[in-house]
Amino acid sequence: MTEKLNLTDAEWREKLSPEQYHVLREGGTERAFTGKYEKNKAEGMYYCAGCGAPLFSSDTKYNSGSGWPSYTAPVEGEAVDEHRDMSHGMIRTEVTCAKCEGHLGHVFPDGPGPTGLRYCINSASLEFKPEE
Rounded CA-CA distance 23/9 in Å is: 14
**Shortest distance, CB of residue 53 to Zn ion, whole angstroms?**
5
Tell me the binding residues for Zn(2+): 48, 51, 97, 100
User: Which of 23, 48, 79, 117 lies at the binding interface for Zn ion (CB under 5 A)?
Assistant: 48
Does residue 97 bind Zn ion (CB under 5 A)?
yes
Interface with Zn ion (CB under 5 A), residue total 8
Catalytic hit among 120, 121, 124, 126: 120
In 3D space, the residue among 15, 12, 10 whose CA is nearest the CA of residue 101 turns out to be 12
DSSP state of 51: T
Instruction: CB nearer to Zn ion: give 2 or 93.
Output: 2
Does residue 121 bind Zn ion (CB under 5 A)?
no
Question: Is 120 annotated in the active site?
Answer: yes
Rounded CA-CA distance 52/60 in Å is: 19
> Site residues for Zn ion, window 5-44 (CB under 5 A)?
none
User: Which of 75, 80, 100, 107 lies at the binding interface for Zn ion (CB under 5 A)?
Assistant: 100
Residue 85 main-chain phi, psi, to 5 deg: -125, 115
Q: How many helices (H) and strands (E) does the chain have?
A: 2, 9
Catalogue the active-site residues.
120
